[in-house]
Chains A and B, each alone.
Chain A
């Protein structure tokens, strides 16, 4: 912070003030208005008028800066002149210099499919990660995440290429990172984000580039001169976009009506233990205990509602008393208003041979769910020293992140285990608290067997997931001569993630838990990358330019994980939650550790040839060795070719009046993937006390060690290869009025790394990973930009079609990794997209007995129940009639980003839409079919089948109907939506006060509206958090709504200022 003290002496000796004026024009000669002209380091500022004219006071030895959205910013030294005319070139909406492949490259020279992210657009949001809103800014990218603070972002580039993890490779300042939480990276530090989408762009990162590469640069540094500071602050409040209380029953008597009809329609007596008699039901005085019915012949009370109880007999935890509720709004009990605060300060400066930047960040987001928050503090130091031809320096970030409340992840397993699922599972008659203020639950028969979701949130309130990280690199470079440079860079990613959690007793539950537990774990990892590169660039003869890159890289990742737990803590106070013998039941203390280790060694080269900026040729080859693969297949070679033809530079295109720029691109290349657990090349043996140990001596307490084969190895494991072909065109028409980028691609994954299931007769050891599968993605991405002096609009769209071509050569399908209560709704089948929905086809409801008789033989068929199609025509509805019933993949996704400037105001907005994707709403198991006596949708009362309402939305209410709920197309909903992601109105304060050189204040709103037909909570679903023995497999389970943390609507206010 010492740098701040220097601010007071920021003014350096300036020359004499003179009046400078001039005209700013486009290269075509058209005047540019609203160009912002400033004196560098000073306070003076001006705007050009409609004729492009400006006038400003400036020191004779000062520098003027010219800036306008959509034009390349310029600095011009005054040098004593009083007239300075400037021509500002249009900046392609893609930045003009991009960092690709270890070196900076002119945008114009790029022949691959590379998209630069518009950071202005992605910064108009309040999430912890820069990744969360990439999909609206970059064509060909999809992003999924939940509304939980600090949630994981599932970024997918151009479809899905593997059954395993499809995360792109992130290269942060040259250091590769493969993970989907990039929350430790302060978005305010980021200077550029490039997405390398095809192999000709990405294959220089061969080894791990098959899912595309996202290059993130945080190399912001100071300019020469005294320290300058930027301060950014943003605070906001948020609320859920939609809640269950928008469509579930909130009134106890309405709920009872559903129960009553369900029993009556089934011909069964209506339960009386909660609401009393079915003919005159009432909200009960108490829901627990409810053994106040008439005494049976043994003199024991039968279950029945209690109306008068001696509340003084209450004891915790053994004798709880819970009142009845006329209608608990469970959503409202758990979800409310969230908060976000984001504060950033950076100080930068430099001298003749050095520059530096120091930044600080504090981010604090409280989720909309109770006791759920994410906090991050970070600091960054970037410096470079350039004595002579040498330069060296470092970019280092330290980040400390804390996630409280245990919901940063997307749902896993049965989603009913979390606060979202449990919200549906609680009936309105259950109160939040019992008569003494302890948490209540549905303990009585008929109230389900759930946990109070607010209790669940409360229980986890001190659960903390920590992520401490040191990330960065140190480098040294030698510029031997202007053509020739050497660089050595050592990148590192060191971290410790840990979790501490507590689970209390749940005596109030119908299935009570009477033991508490503390669990904790810690994962320490060390990931380093050492890369050495040599670049040579030269014009050989007139118009013939060549450049070469040669490099070598080594990478090693080691990690060690330890977890432990203990039960029955005597004191559950947070200060006692340590795993020590005296604090709980020492006999239950349990500890395990595990680890991982893998390495990559790589050599690579790239040659570029450019003839007169017309013909471009780029050749890349990389050779990688991976420790994860079989000894004889460790090394893979990944070549790529890129061709470019800048037609607009051809003589015949000169002065064509339409195209100011036209470039055709072609790319072909191979990228690899080896993202599987290490050590899968040999058979692994193991076991555990609960799986292989056995009490052979019949002692009842002493078990002997046992071992089994736990996973099968494959010594022939080799690289997964992704071959991609890309045709692209970039063109600009009418002097930058419209800019187009369009790419057509095909990506084919061969030798896909995958562990196809073995028959049960092979045992339960994890299947070997093999390289047999094939997958294909074809698609198109495009973007259209339009700019005027006041308008800037970009629209991008993308479409891909994913197809599984081969699985293991024999099998033609395998099921998805998660089954919900009623089975598995996902299949991976040859010829169809990964993760397709699978089940029976629902054809409405049976109208009457005649309809039942006329239909194919179907178990449980009855009027009002769902009719399923006899797909195979064998006269009976069986499992064999299951078929593909939907796909989670969109037909089209699009983003629209617009900015309008008027004087000192600007307004920006981003719209995102996805079309044609389907959602399997697994929550219908609960809120339609009332499995586990859960709450249900309120329109079940008005729109369930009756003889008078034969075209109802829902089948007949009937507790005996265990048939309609089987997995079928009845669960499928259209997941298309259009969402106003954000709107921002900003004011650029015209005359700043005191030390402030500029200031910008804004107010912004996120998720103001969503247009969708999806009847569930939120059509923007996160990917499931699901792992198989061979790693992350969330792409096998997309688009199934099991209840996830919904997006928030956030209104925030911010300020950015320099001083």
Chain B
């Protein structure tokens, strides 16, 4: 000890050295603690499993819902953007729930509330793009680094599917905003300027052409959720229709109709269904493959984005009464003596302003698709019993009707057993593009080309299928759907007539457009159709003028003006696009 006290610095240095060396003994003390915990790294995924899994995740973004990070505004069905904004439906529920949709429905799209939903749709669309591009990048890397890991055939399929998805997600954004930035797999700058609407369309079509060249006619691995060559061709036709490139559309859609694998479902009840055996039938071109009871603890894959759109408290579903069909829509299903839409011959078709309950419609001639689309009091609600007034959350606000297409049949077993109110979660696939939609687009193209007989045949084909089966008593699985003249039907006189002829192009155009509304009501297409027909301002201003006398809250609606033909790009995204203080994204005109 004495020597130590005489040489404190030596002792101290030795002490520190021993301690220091002891620690440096494990030289990688810091390095070992630096690895992230519980995550995958880029290298682990650089193989077939990683590429395929990245592609799967790109498909999953088809429904970018609350459970995943977005809100109801980014649900697969576009019920907020394509339906509640149109004359098909109201927001529903009550005034104070989801107030952002009040603003959206009232065409007040520059509010902070509306912006929050717009931002979710923007982010959801581009998340799909990002996942698609990640797939292509990783595929190229694995192909370069591990030759043979992925077969040439699979590589073509993977790239084709990813390109298809990339086109789809950009198309979703394009339908909303028109002037959008386009992102490919080689992009690293996420602050690109937006393209002019037409240029963005060219990009989408180019990706679809590439997808067509890479994909096989049938789904890869026999997995029906995958995009195919025919799905890509069909989608191309749809984009061409949206672009108004009628000649191209005619060629593309005629090819799909003539040579493609698609058929209409034999009856309308099989289009929107929870029954497994009817899912992904011949009518499905592309759908979000919902799944329930798949081991996911919150039911996120079971149409989380649609979960608000069920009848409310007194019903077997418990919540939440959103996306209620409008009185205008219900009235639109009235038919004349010939079984044709009353609207085609009678300007007074929209006169009714009372609850079209079962007793009110007992002697009324109706298109049977009404009762596959709308829940009405006293009418069987699939196999859930009669729809009742107590199922409506606030009739004074959202009217007496409930949505129906997204609701599963009780007997289907599609209902989730997990999640917040599992009765509102199901595995009903959400149609993103179905064959009836394609046929009616083809009919439009035929009308624009002046080949009216072709259009007539297509419309009548869709109508013939509508005439097969109607909502039945629903007391058992076997009588959910019955022939439209079945004696058990006491709540309506169903009638679907065939158009004898389209006398003029204008008549044909109207007939096709009416048929689209009847066939695709509540499917999130209506608003986009009105936009591309350039009649949204006229139709919607007339709609609001009458509907606000029925639903007073609609007095808050703004006049639908030219600027409403495009949604405003979320201000926050414009802000985030700044480079050196300059905004790269340009806001749409009028916003």
Closest chain B CB from A273 CB (angstroms): 9
Whether B572 pairs with A556 at a CB distance below 8 angstroms is: no
Q: Is A510 an interface position by the 8 A CB rule?
A: yes
Closest to A756 in B: B576
Chain-B contact segment, one of A131-139, A140-148, A443-451 = A443-451
The size of the chain B interface, using a CB distance under 8 A, is 136
Whether B15 pairs with A271 at a CB distance below 8 angstroms is: no
Residue from the list A484, A587, A711, A760 in contact with B8, Cβ < 8 A = A484
Whether B60 pairs with A811 at a CB distance below 8 angstroms is: no
Closest to B320 in A: A511
Whether B558 pairs with A484 at a CB distance below 8 angstroms is: no
Per-position 1/0 for B295-330, Cβ under 8 A of A: 111101100000000001110001110000000000
> A599-623: which residues lie under 8 A (CB-CB) from chain B?
599-601, 603
Closest to A709 in B: B134
- Determine the chain B residues whose CB is within 8 A of the CB of A510 once the complex forms: 312-313, 319
Q: Is B507 an interface position by the 8 A CB rule?
A: no
Closest to B59 in A: A694
Per-position 1/0 for A693-710, Cβ under 8 A of B: 111111111111111111
Measured CA separation A488–B290 after assembly (Å): 61
Whether A480 pairs with B53 at a CB distance below 8 angstroms is: no
Closest chain A CB from B397 CB (angstroms): 9
Question: Given A685-B41, A687-B53, does the pair A443, B313 have CB atoms closer than 8 Å?
Answer: yes
Measured CA separation A122–B134 after assembly (Å): 56
> B180-234: which residues lie under 8 A (CB-CB) from chain A?
181, 183, 190-192, 222-226
Measured CA separation A878–B570 after assembly (Å): 13
Measured CA separation A486–B15 after assembly (Å): 8
Measured CA separation A242–B102 after assembly (Å): 36
Whether B183 pairs with A761 at a CB distance below 8 angstroms is: yes
Closest chain B CB from A52 CB (angstroms): 45
Measured CA separation A680–B33 after assembly (Å): 12
Whether B289 pairs with A696 at a CB distance below 8 angstroms is: yes
Closest to B293 in A: A701
Measured CA separation A568–B418 after assembly (Å): 9
Measured CA separation A269–B397 after assembly (Å): 11
> A577-632: which residues lie under 8 A (CB-CB) from chain B?
585, 587-588, 590, 593-601, 603, 625-628, 631
Whether B289 pairs with A300 at a CB distance below 8 angstroms is: no
Closest to A533 in B: B16
Residue from the list A558, A585, A590, A815 in contact with B417, Cβ < 8 A = A585
> B221-258: which residues lie under 8 A (CB-CB) from chain A?
222-226
Closest chain B CB from A203 CB (angstroms): 20
Measured CA separation A628–B31 after assembly (Å): 9
Q: Is A879 an interface position by the 8 A CB rule?
A: yes
Closest chain B CB from A272 CB (angstroms): 10
Whether B41 pairs with A682 at a CB distance below 8 angstroms is: yes
Measured CA separation A622–B388 after assembly (Å): 74
Measured CA separation A824–B570 after assembly (Å): 14
> B534-575: which residues lie under 8 A (CB-CB) from chain A?
552-553, 555-556, 558, 570-573, 575
Measured CA separation A760–B131 after assembly (Å): 13
Per-position 1/0 for A351-369, Cβ under 8 A of B: 0000000000000000000
- Determine the chain A residues whose CB is within 8 A of the CB of B577 once the complex forms: 759
Whether A684 pairs with B36 at a CB distance below 8 angstroms is: yes
Whether B12 pairs with A300 at a CB distance below 8 angstroms is: no
Q: Is A692 an interface position by the 8 A CB rule?
A: yes
Question: Given A599-B30, A690-B301, A760-B122, does the pair A810, B578 have CB atoms closer than 8 Å?
Answer: yes
Per-position 1/0 for B41-67, Cβ under 8 A of A: 110110001100111111110000001
The size of the chain A interface, using a CB distance under 8 A, is 133
Per-position 1/0 for A236-276, Cβ under 8 A of B: 00000000000000000000000000000011110100000
Whether B571 pairs with A692 at a CB distance below 8 angstroms is: no
Question: Given A694-B56, A761-B129, A933-B96, does the pair A296, B23 have CB atoms closer than 8 Å?
Answer: no
Q: Is B406 an interface position by the 8 A CB rule?
A: no
Q: Is B99 an interface position by the 8 A CB rule?
A: yes
Closest chain B CB from A268 CB (angstroms): 6
Measured CA separation A606–B34 after assembly (Å): 29
Q: Is A859 an interface position by the 8 A CB rule?
A: yes
Q: Is B260 an interface position by the 8 A CB rule?
A: no
Q: Is A565 an interface position by the 8 A CB rule?
A: yes
Closest chain B CB from A566 CB (angstroms): 9
Whether B190 pairs with A761 at a CB distance below 8 angstroms is: yes
Chain-A contact segment, one of B104-112, B148-156, B344-352, B441-449 = B104-112
- Determine the chain B residues whose CB is within 8 A of the CB of A705 once the complex forms: 49, 53, 56
Question: Given A588-B417, A695-B225, A699-B291, does the pair A678, B8 have CB atoms closer than 8 Å?
Answer: no
Main secondary structure of the interface of A (DSSP, over half): loop
Question: Given A683-B42, A687-B53, A760-B126, does the pair A297, B359 have CB atoms closer than 8 Å?
Answer: yes
Question: Given A878-B110, A932-B96, does the pair A860, B116 have CB atoms closer than 8 Å?
Answer: no
Chain-B contact segment, one of A74-82, A786-794, A960-968, A1036-1044 = A960-968
Question: Given A296-B389, A758-B190, does the pair A445, B225 have CB atoms closer than 8 Å?
Answer: no
Measured CA separation A526–B373 after assembly (Å): 59
Whether B223 pairs with A685 at a CB distance below 8 angstroms is: no
Q: Is B427 an interface position by the 8 A CB rule?
A: yes
- Determine the chain A residues whose CB is within 8 A of the CB of B393 once the complex forms: 445
Q: Is B68 an interface position by the 8 A CB rule?
A: yes
Q: Is B37 an interface position by the 8 A CB rule?
A: yes
Q: Is B421 an interface position by the 8 A CB rule?
A: yes
Whether A692 pairs with B57 at a CB distance below 8 angstroms is: yes
Whether A822 pairs with B113 at a CB distance below 8 angstroms is: yes
Per-position 1/0 for B334-373, Cβ under 8 A of A: 0000000000000000000001011110000000000000
Question: Given A300-B378, A699-B291, does the pair A678, B37 have CB atoms closer than 8 Å?
Answer: yes
Question: Given A697-B223, A859-B558, does the pair A962, B1 have CB atoms closer than 8 Å?
Answer: no
Whether B112 pairs with A552 at a CB distance below 8 angstroms is: no
Whether A759 pairs with B555 at a CB distance below 8 angstroms is: no
Residue from the list B192, B276, B298, B420 in contact with A513, Cβ < 8 A = B420
Whether B396 pairs with A268 at a CB distance below 8 angstroms is: yes
Q: Is B453 an interface position by the 8 A CB rule?
A: no
- Determine the chain B residues whose CB is within 8 A of the CB of A565 once the complex forms: 297
Closest chain A CB from B293 CB (angstroms): 6
Question: Given A628-B34, A696-B225, A708-B54, does the pair A760, B96 have CB atoms closer than 8 Å?
Answer: no
Whether A859 pairs with B289 at a CB distance below 8 angstroms is: no
Residue from the list B31, B359, B558 in contact with A627, Cβ < 8 A = B31
Measured CA separation A297–B16 after assembly (Å): 93
Question: Given A567-B418, A811-B578, does the pair A960, B396 have CB atoms closer than 8 Å?
Answer: no
Per-position 1/0 for A870-905, Cβ under 8 A of B: 000000001100100000000000000000000000
Closest to B63 in A: A694
Whether B36 pairs with A680 at a CB distance below 8 angstroms is: yes
- Determine the chain A residues whose CB is within 8 A of the CB of B57 once the complex forms: 687, 691-692, 694, 706-708
Question: Given A511-B319, A596-B37, A689-B294, does the pair A698, B225 have CB atoms closer than 8 Å?
Answer: yes
Per-position 1/0 for A541-578, Cβ under 8 A of B: 00000000011101010100000010110000000000
> B122-156: which residues lie under 8 A (CB-CB) from chain A?
122-123, 126-127, 129-131, 134
Whether A698 pairs with B429 at a CB distance below 8 angstroms is: yes
A residues whose Cβ falls under 8 Å from a Cβ of B: 266-269, 271, 289, 291, 296-303, 389, 443-446, 449, 480-481, 483-484, 486, 488, 510-515, 530, 532, 534, 536, 550-552, 554, 556, 558, 565, 567-568, 585, 587-588, 590, 593-601, 603, 625-628, 631, 634, 678-711, 757-765, 810-811, 813, 815, 819, 821-824, 859-860, 878-879, 882, 930-933, 959-960, 962-963, 966-967
Give me the 6 closest cross-chain CB pairs, A-B, nearest first. Answer: A679-B36, A690-B300, A763-B130, A706-B56, A706-B57, A298-B378
Interchain Cβ contacts under 8 Å between A and B, 19 examples: A269-B396, A291-B390, A480-B11, A510-B313, A554-B23, A556-B29, A599-B29, A626-B30, A627-B30, A678-B36, A683-B41, A686-B39, A689-B301, A696-B225, A698-B289, A700-B289, A758-B190, A760-B127, A819-B116
Known: A705-B53, A879-B111. 7 other contacts (CB 8 A): A480-B8, A515-B418, A532-B19, A627-B30, A696-B56, A697-B222, A760-B126
